Every structure is written in C-alpha cells, then in structure tokens.
Structure 1
Amino acid sequence: MIPGRIRIRTCLSAAALLAAALVAPLLATPAASAATVTPPPAHAGFDYQIGGAYAPPAGVTVVSRDRTASPAAGLYNICYVNAFQVQPGEEGTWDSDLLLRDAAGNVVIDEGWGEALLDLRTDAKRRRIAAKVNGWIDGCRSKGFQAVEPDNYDSYSRSKKLLTAANAQAYIKLLSAHAHGEGLAIAQKNTVELAGSRVANGLDFAVAEECGYYRECGDYTAAFGDNVIVIEYNATGLSRACSGWGTTLSIVRRDVDVSPIGSGGYVRRTC
C-alpha cells in the first residue's frame, strides 16, 4: 500500500475526451453482471484509511482500508489493492516476466512511487497477473470487505507508451468479473478518461482523488451518477468539491500520507 497516491495528471484535449466517449459504446459488454453486488451508499460519511487503520470518526459509515488490514465492524468496507503495479521491495514475489520491461530489458518504474509496472500487453500475461490479484480479492472477501478498490488503473499513462488503455481495460475486466463472482462491488480508481467505459468494464463506483482540485468531478458523475467517492488533499480541492458536490457525493480531505489518527501529520476534513 502506498498512501496518498496523488497522480501526475496528463492534460487531455477536448477531442480526446470526445473520442473516448464515442468509442465507449462500441466496447464489449460487461464481463460479469453487477446486479448482485451493492456499491457504497452515496453521500455517506467516508474515511480513507489506506495509510493505517484506526477507529472511524463519528458519522463515518464507509471506510477504505488496505487489503492487509481488517474491515471496520458494522460499516461498509472497501479493500484497497495495488493491482497494476508492484509494491516497492516486492518485485521478487512476482514472476520476472510479468514485470514490464523496455527495449533495453530494464523494468519500467513509476518514478513517483518507486513501483514496477506489471506487463499487461498479452492476454496470457494479463490472466496470470489477474490470478494473483484475484487471490488478494478472495482474501478481501474472506475478511468481510464489501468492495474492492484496484489502484493504478492509469499505469499505462506512465509506461513509456508500452501499455495502452485497451490493455488496462482488458485486465480490469478480469478483476471485475472475479469480484462480482465473489459478491464484491469494484471501483474505478481515478483514470477519468476511461469513466465513459465503466459499464463495459464492469465497474460499479468511482474513487476519485482530487477531482475537485482538477475540476473533474462532473466527468465522474456523468458516468457513475452519485456513486463517486472523492478524496482531496488540500483546502482548495475540498472547497471546490464541496461547493459543487457536497450535497450528493461522499467527500473527504486527508493528508497526503493518509496518516492514522493520532500521528503528527493526520488531517481529516469534510464538507
């Protein structure tokens, strides 16, 4: 788990967004029906605890925690899984050929977080990677989580053009089908440019970091309705999110490290 995963944004032209919207209806139908799963309640008290679990503050009914943690009793719990990249120091737990490599044979690293990218370029590799990550999803279900949040859906944007959005979507369909088979809802994490394809990709709700700050919340709600959870990391982002969406979406401001309560860097604010 890497806390406070604020993404470096790639500016998309209006033409690119329009093209994505036009392509979305042409994509395949969802790999699995989400009819039997329940997304988090909209406009709920939310706390983002992927940096360390602690007793949820009063009024919180939805919590996101790392897959290594236990869910909060009596609440709706989302399980955070780093699904598209490798935790620093854990490269040895993956088959070497599943790490994305450039033409020189060097592992491609997300420099912002020191994480190796996973190689999603072929169906065979996607299925091998999904088998491991789906095992983690099974662990989330066994612990009592109701949903899963696969992070780094947008890793293709940091892949030196080796991965594509189509690779990411083909892979996440494997995860969404498995999650739904386990009775878990599954989130789209960030990656606003693919929000219009969320039905085809089998995604039930969105977890959007800094959509207020980057003025993207409306792009998420256009695809997901009110099933959007917003995490902001500064006062400007929180103000914008609350001004536009405070009566409809789950919104929280956390510190970048998503520190546990009681630690020196802990910040939590709501609308």
Structure 2
Amino acid sequence: MPSPSVRSLVAPALALALLAGCAGGGAPAPAPAEHEPTTSVSDAVGQDDAAPAPPPAGAGLDYQLGGAYPPPDGVTVVVRDVTDSPAGAGYDVCYVNGFQTQPDESGAWLRDHPGLVLRDEDGDPVADPGWPDELLLDTSTDAGRREIAEIVGAQVDACADAGYDAVEPDNLDSSTRSDGALTQGDNLALAALLIERAHARGLAIGQKNTVELGADGPALGFDFVVAEDCAVHDECGDYAAAYGTRVLEIEYDDAPGFTDRLADACTRGVSVVGRDRGLSTPDDPGYAFEPC
C-alpha cells in the first residue's frame, strides 16, 4: 500500500494539464470502457544502454513523503513529493501518483477529466479502499492511458525541471483494487508510457512495490524498485532476484519485529531506512528515522 503524501499545493504543471482538458465540467460520467488489447512486456518500452543511472546501491536513504526537511547525516538518497524541491544530498527521487489521484487533486480529475477516473457499475468513482480520498484512474483503454500519461507526464517533466535524478510513480498495483475492472496488463501499458517519458527527460524510474512482476519489471524498463515493508511480506528476496541491489527499502516501525527486520535488511547491500508509517517530519512526536 502507498504511504501518505502531503501536498499543500498542486504542482503547476499538473494544474495546467488538468485544466487542458478532455471533458468539460458538467459532462455526465461515461460508462466504464471495454478493455482494449494491452501492451505486453515484450512489446513495451525496454531498458536500453543509455538509461539514466539508478540510485547508488547501499547508500543512506530517507523517505520524506510527509514533508521535506534537511536530510539526516549519512543520507545521500532522498525521496520527496513532486511539490517539494530536491534535497541536493546526492541523489534525488521524485514521487508522483501515477495510477491514482492524490487526495487534494481528486476534485480536479473529476471536474476536468471525468472519463479518466474509473467508475463502478453505478457510474460512481472507484476509490482505493485503504486511501478513500484517492480515486483509481481508468487504464483500460489505449486512448485513456495516453491521456493519463500526458497528465502524469507533466509531473514527470516537473520532476526533471526541478533537478531530480529519478521518479517514483505510485500505485502500479491499482488493478488489484479495481474489482476486476482493470488488469495488470492495463497498468503495465501505462507504465511503459511513463518509463518512456522519464527516460526522455533523463530520469531513472522506479517500480513501486508490485512484487508479482518479478523480472518483468526491469524488462519493461524500470531502473530500480521502491519496496515498502518487503521483510514483513517476505518479498525482499524476490525483489533482489529481479533488481539485485537496485532496491530502496522502507521498513515501517508499526509492524512486528521492526528492529530485527531493519538489522537483517542492513546486511543485504541495498539502501534501507526505518520510518514511521505517517512519514512525519522531525518536529512531529511520531517521527521515526532509523538508518543502517
């Protein structure tokens, strides 16, 4: 599941893209579209020799999606939201919500692009059960995927323009929360477009969770993986099999065995950080940051 991302502002590039629009504000909600053939991994964009460099293996990591703050000593890889500036500590990763809406952007999607939001049989927007303020994007058609890729692509461009080194598009696994309306192939077809956009802007791009992809993740063109609580779910070995040490691992302190999980993670040669699940800032009483 994704961790919360606090956005006090909508990124200017996204705001322009949302206003540029497909459907007008008063348009009725369209019925869910029939699935179109999706791009297979073998047909999708592949990683080439000129792909941007992934984060350095085993570097000190911080995951700052709840708000930016000066990186702690020893941290050289920092993940921040697209609305925050890069940390400049060495290697900067930019978070965007690639397959769902951000809570404070859901209204703009419904107003300006109602046909790109997934609907249920009653025509109501489908929300993520774990994050009910986030709406699933409808990746089931080629036309829809291309429109979504342009809107999310504006955020990818904003990451590049701000000076980030890489981008992390969240919720690649949204199809598992769609009650069968979306398939993994639908989302991989959108992912291929985002990979192409990121690489064209000189950004590496990370797969977020979705361990079931196995070797198909790097084959599609993802340069590294961001794995949350992989020790809790016994998935770390699978990520290592696909990506080697090109892994950013976040272990949260509210799950059992936190200290042991973190100690074990620190032996694997990947970038690891222990954080509070709220990803709060140091002035918050719930803040936790545990490096290797």
TM range, smaller chain:
0.7 to 0.9
Corresponding residue number in structure 1 for 2:288:
267
Query: Could you tell me the TM-score, scaled by structure 2's length?
Result: 0.81
Partner AA of 2:131 in structure 1: W
Q: How big is the shift at 1:128?
A: 0.0
- The match for 1:128 among 124, 144, 147 is 147
Question: Identical aligned pairs, as a percentage?
Answer: 48
Distance 2:141 2:87 in 1: 38
Q: Which residue of 2 aligns with 1:16?
A: none
In 1, the alpha carbon distance for the partners of 2:161 and 2:151 equals 16
- Counterpart for residue 114 of structure 2: 96
Q: Say whether 1:221 aligns with 2:221.
A: no
- Alignment gaps of 5+ in structure 2: 6-39
Matched with 1:109 is 127
Superposed CA RMSD: 1.8
Code of the aligned partner of 2:58: H
Equivalent positions of 1:195-206 (< 5 A) are 195-206=214-225
Q: 2:258 & 2:139 partners in 1: Cα distance?
A: 33
Match of 2:85 in 1: 70
**1:244 Cα deviation (Å)?**
5.2
Q: CA deviation at 1:215?
A: 1.2
Q: Secondary structure at the match of 1:153?
A: coil
Which residue, out of 59, 62, 66, partners 2:74? 59
Unaligned runs of 5+ in 1: 6-24
CA deviation vs aligned residue, 1:101-154 (integer Å, no higher than 9, x gap): 012111111021111100000000000000000110000000000000000000
Q: CA deviation at 1:76?
A: 0.4
Distance of aligned partners of 1:123 and 1:159 in 2 relative to their CA distance in 1, 3 Å threshold? same
CA 1:92–1:62: 2 relative to 1, 3 Å:
same
Which is further off, 137-146 or 192-201? 192-201
Whether the aligned pair in 2 keeps the contact of 1:43 and 1:248 (CA below 8 Å) is yes
- Worse-matched range after superposition: 261-270 or 27-36: 27-36
1:44 maps to 2:44: no
Aligned pairs (5 A) from 1:1-271 = 3-4=3-4, 27-28=42-43, 30-31=45-46, 33=48, 35-94=50-109, 95-114=113-132, 115-234=134-253, 236-237=257-258, 239-243=260-264, 246-271=267-292
Q: How far 1:73 moved relative to its partner? A: 2.0
Question: In 2 relative to 1, CA 195–241 (structure 1 residues): closer, same or farther, beyond 3 Å?
Answer: farther
Question: AA paired with 1:266?
Answer: Y
The residue type equivalent to 1:55 in the other structure is P
Report the Cα distance in structure 1 between the residues aligned to 2:70 and 2:261, rounded to whole angstroms.
28
Deviation at 1:200, TM superposition (A): 3.0
Count of residue pairs the alignment pairs up: 251
Matched residues in 2 for 1:139 and 1:244: separation? 33
Q: Cα offset for 1:242?
A: 3.2
**8 Å Cα contact 1:37-1:180 kept in structure 2:** yes
| Higher mean displacement: 50-59 or 232-241 | 232-241
Distance across 2 between alignment mates of 1:148 and 1:34: 19
Q: Confirm or deny: 8 A CA contact 1:42 1:249 kept in the other structure.
A: yes
Alpha-carbon distance in structure 2 between the residues aligned to 1:100 and 1:29? 23
Counterparts of 2:259 and 2:147, CA distance in 1? 39
Q: Secondary structure at the match of 2:79?
A: strand
